[in-house]
Structure 1
Amino acid sequence: MSRVADIAAALAGYDPKALSVDGVQAFLASLVEPAILRAREPVPLFQALGRVLAEDVISPFDVPPHDNSAMDGFAFDGSVLDASSSEFVSLRVAGTALAGAAWRGTLTRGDALKIMTGAVMPAGFDTVVPQEFCTVDGDAVRFPANALRRGDNRRFAGEDLKQGRPALLQGERLMPAALGLLASLGQAEACVFRRLRVAYFSTGDEILSLGEPPREGAVYDSNSYTVFGLLTRLGCEVVDLGMVRDDPAALASALSDAANKADAIITSGGVSVGEADHTRAVMRQLGDMAFWRVAMRPGRPMAVGLIPRTPGAADESGATVLFGLPGNPVAVMVTFLAFVRPALLRLMGCNASNAAPPPMLRARSAGSIRKKPGRTEYQRGRVTCTPGTLPEVRIAGNQGSGVLSSMVEGNGLVVLHHAQDSVSPGDEVDVMMFDGVI
């Protein structure tokens, strides 16, 4: 039995003519597992943004390395608060501690030390009173006894990272905060998996390249540019194979070429049941394929499978993962976000949490949305926020699967789940936000 057939057999209720969104995601998780990248390389931190960590990072020391002040103020022994019977505490200012060097001197229980944010806390002192609470008169500082509690405004050594403990785990995608964390450990570079190579081409005799004159019945290729943007935002190395006509020999050549050059292939168009489309037949001839009608809108037709590589053509596994997407522009983007993006993140070496679909925002619908149970719908919406209230989402423009303008107008996809019914004004819905995703 083929690998695709094995995966299908293991899925409960698998029906290629009416496959649920959850079923697609489960299928793809199994399909891509053997093809996850293994090759790794060290890169400087300035080049590591979006890359996937190939090994655990163990903290070589505590961060911060010492107890320090969380703000500008005066450090003192907090036990004086417990002992104070008056409304105010008055202490002698013994000196000033600046960030970057430990203060050297002798302190007593009745002393205070003027201290800057980040400066090392002196031995025996455990509390900092903010300077705005204080009145300074010569070498004395005075503040209300009830303004704080013992231990306030002190950062502990190792409260961020403990020496010998994992700071970042293999499979973590290095975003800005992670780069800063690595820098805080004194690390100038990160060991990451190599970039995922993804080949892409559009199919169809009705597609025009930019620069070609318009002709009746033809449309300009927009999918190449949206897919390029999606892949580039994801951090992939994009192999652009242009456009391929509805010719079996040309399609076979393009797919074989893509399999030998890349870890994954994305095509758009040609996976429906149209008589003029040769893509399905060529895919079936070349690889181990499944063809689906997914219970979703937009994006019903889809193909997935494995295209064998020429021996010696690649350095990972013996086959390239293929995602055959619909031809309509919005359907391409929706199926990419719902299915392809999580699968590519897993291929890149991301762990399960980093490869998960984007989290959903909960929002109130500003209007009615018609929906029948039995399929998942992704409607373009525009979310607005008012402080103190749940975000509100309005459907954005024409929802046709070929209308890109509403993808531009919207800032998220309203996700109406498989079993969900129509939505009334004020009902809560899930929204997959675009920010950081497309």
Structure 2
Amino acid sequence: MALFGRKKTSEPDADAAPAAETPAAPVPQITRRSVTEQRAFLLDQVGAIRPFGMQIFDVPGLTLCEDIRSDLDLPLVTTARVGGWAVRGSDLVGATPEVPKELYVVDQIAAGEAPGAPLVAGAAIRIEEGGMIPEGVDAVVPDAYGVLGEDGYVRIGTETRLYDNLRRAGSELADGTPLLAAGDVLTPRSVAVLAEVGLDKVLVRPRPRIVVFTVGDGLVAPGQALTQPQQRYDAATTLITAAARADGATVYPLGIISSDAREIRQTIADQQIRADLIVAVGGGELIREVAEGMGELDEAVVALNRESRYAFAALGNDRTPMVILPAGVVSAYVGYHAFVRPVIHKLNESDPLAAPRVDGFVAERLEVPDGITQYIPAVWSSDQTVRPVSGVDSELAWDLARANVLLVIPEGWAGADAGSQVECIVLDDAGARGDEAVR
């Protein structure tokens, strides 16, 4: 007899209820957004950088955050435009070369000296060009019109008008005159105005600080040797860095970060302290997982040139914004124009959608998938024809270098026939080539 009775396998009971199946785990659904929806989402996640006072030597190119009015007169005092005789105009009424008026010379004022006592009726003061005008003087007669006698009298044979040859206080810039307005972008000339009225600091919005890096193991930094056939140089970091600087940001390019989760995590953690925005190119699922562990992550499938995942993370307690662009030079540049550039403008409290655009007409039929927005590097000519410089799947910076616009095909179009009117985004250096696209 067996020590342990074996349980017999029973036949299934036909009347018994079937065993419940374990439900399959739900497959997470990635949000799908249009280009416009993704841009609007990103702009909702950031606000303008807080302004603070900066030395005027450091503010050209920055946005002014206060109204500036003159709080002094320029010139500060009334001075003589010419050397001659400071007089009361009423004392010279009727004076002619034949019948000059005689005025007793009571003082002499050199340029830079104090004006002295007020001028009384019947008197005159010898004054140099630039000399300060004393009270009672309302005109200066040029030296050639007066003859000084040994008796101390000057004989002037001409009449004069009120304020003749005077550079009056406040005549060039009066106290209270509006000079600059909040929202103005400061230029070297406007900074000189600040100095002219005695300001050494001004309230401005600083340039957004952008950290840029690219993730990938097959990438090599420019200047280094390619050692394997599958390697290629990293042009994306350079491109995004240059584009962000052209849009007014202070950029810290980090170059290439290897596809190692710990290195990516450490890089992001180290850079948060100095970044208003972090832009990463490539990295795929790995960098999205790292970012998710460091803050709140949003992922969306956006049909821009192709269906690609665009991720945004709000990192740490400060919720430092991070935008992850697809790998590839053209894909990253297109993503920059569609999403990163508007964010930079928002940080700088300028119009997020500000970008020069022109209309054009497609030179040849373009075959593009329906439901996908296309930003295609193209050449816009003065006759308004637009010709793509490459196929929609190109990832060469060379194609961008030959283009002066990004031709935009909306997602609702299934291609574009020759002659179709399209909108084009003018690229940053188009004006430097003398193209007529910039308007």
TM-score range, shorter chain: 0.5 to 0.7
Which string of whole-angstrom CA distances, capped at 9 and with x for unpartnered residues, describes residues 199-256 of structure 1?
1221111112231433132222111211221122123222233322111111111111
Aligned residue in 1 for 2:210: 198
Identity of aligned residues (%): 22
Equivalences, count: 309
Q: Write out per-residue CA displacement over residues 364-389 of structure 1, whole angstroms, 9 at most, x where no aligned residue.
A: 22222223442211011101114xxx
Aligned to 2:389: 396
Do the aligned partners of 1:59 and 1:167 also contact (CA within 8 Å) in 2? no
CA distance in 1, matches of 2:422, 2:314: 36
Partner of 1:369: 366
Asked if residue 31 in structure 1 is aligned to residue 24 in structure 2, the reply is no
Whether 2:235 is the aligned partner of 1:208: answer no
Whether the 8 Å CA contact 1:40–1:193 is kept in 2: the answer is yes
Indicate the residue corresponding to 2:62 in structure 1.
51
Task: Find the aligned partners of 1:59 and 1:422 in 2 and give their Cα distance.
Answer: 57
CA shift, 1:291, in A, is 1.4
Cα distance, 1:197 vs structure 2: 1.6
Q: Where does the alignment leave 5 or more consecutive residues of structure 2 unmatched? A: 1-28, 74-138, 141-160, 163-170, 432-439
Give 1:414 shift. 0.5
| Counterpart secondary structure, 1:405 | helix
CA distance in structure 1 between the aligned counterparts of 2:193 and 2:306, rounded to whole angstroms: 45
1:347 equivalent in alignment to 2:347: yes
Aligned to 1:424: 417
After TM superposition, the score normalised by the length of structure 1 is 0.62
In the alignment, which residue of structure 2 is the partner of 1:435? Answer: 428
Give the whole-Å Cα distance in 2 for the aligned partners of 1:49 and 1:366: 42
Tell me the equivalent position of 1:295: 303
5+ residue gaps, structure 1: 1-14, 63-103, 106-121, 124-156, 272-276, 310-317
Give the aligned partner of residue 305 of structure 1.
313
Superposed displacement of residue 48, structure 1: 3.4
The reply to whether residue 379 of structure 1 matches residue 390 of structure 2 is: no
Q: 1:333 to 1:164 in 2, by over 3 A?
A: same
C-alpha separation in 2, matches of 1:267 and 1:306: 13
The residue type equivalent to 1:407 in the other structure is L
Does the 8 A contact of 2:367 with 2:415 survive in 1? yes
Deviations 1:56-83, CA, capped at 9 Å, x for gaps: 3457799xxxxxxxxxxxxxxxxxxxxx
Q: Give the aligned residue type for 2:376.
A: Q
Alignment of 1:107-146 (within 5 A): none
Provide the rounded CA distance (Å) in 1 between the counterparts of 2:277 and 2:217. Answer: 24
- Relative to structure 2, which stretch is displaced further, 222-231 or 185-194? 185-194
In the TM superposition, 1:163-182 aligns within 5 A as 167-170=180-183, 172-174=184-186, 180=189
**Tell me, what secondary structure is at the counterpart of 2:254?**
strand
CA contact (8 A) 2:373 2:411 kept: yes
- How many angstroms does 1:430 deviate by? 0.2
Q: How far off is 1:437 after superposition?
A: 8.7
CA RMSD across the alignment: 3.5
| Letter in structure 1 aligned against 2:418 | P
Using the alignment, how far apart are the partners of 2:421 and 2:387 within structure 1? 12
Letter in 1 for 2:64: L
Letter in 2 for 1:338: A
Q: 2:272 aligns with which of 253, 259, 266?
A: 259
The alpha-carbon distance between structure 1 residues 334 and 40, as it changes in their structure 2 partners (threshold 3 A), is: same
In 2: Cα distance, 1:291 partner to 1:52 partner: 33
Q: Which of 52, 62, 67 matches 1:40? A: 52
Q: CA deviation at 1:193?
A: 1.8
Q: Which amino acid aligns with 1:377?
A: Q
3-state DSSP class of the match of 2:45? helix
Greater relative CO, 1 or 2 (CA 8 Å, sep 6+): 1
Distance 2:356 2:276 in 1: 26
- For residues 437 and 302 of structure 1, the distance between their equivalents in structure 2, rounded to whole angstroms, comes to 28
TM-score by length of 2: 0.62
Question: What's the secondary structure of 2:298's corresponding residue?
Answer: strand
* Deviation sequence 1:78-113 (CA, Å, 0-9, x none): xxxxxxxxxxxxxxxxxxxxxxxxxx99xxxxxxxx
Which whole-Å CA distance do the structure 1 matches of 2:392 and 2:70 have between them?
Answer: 50
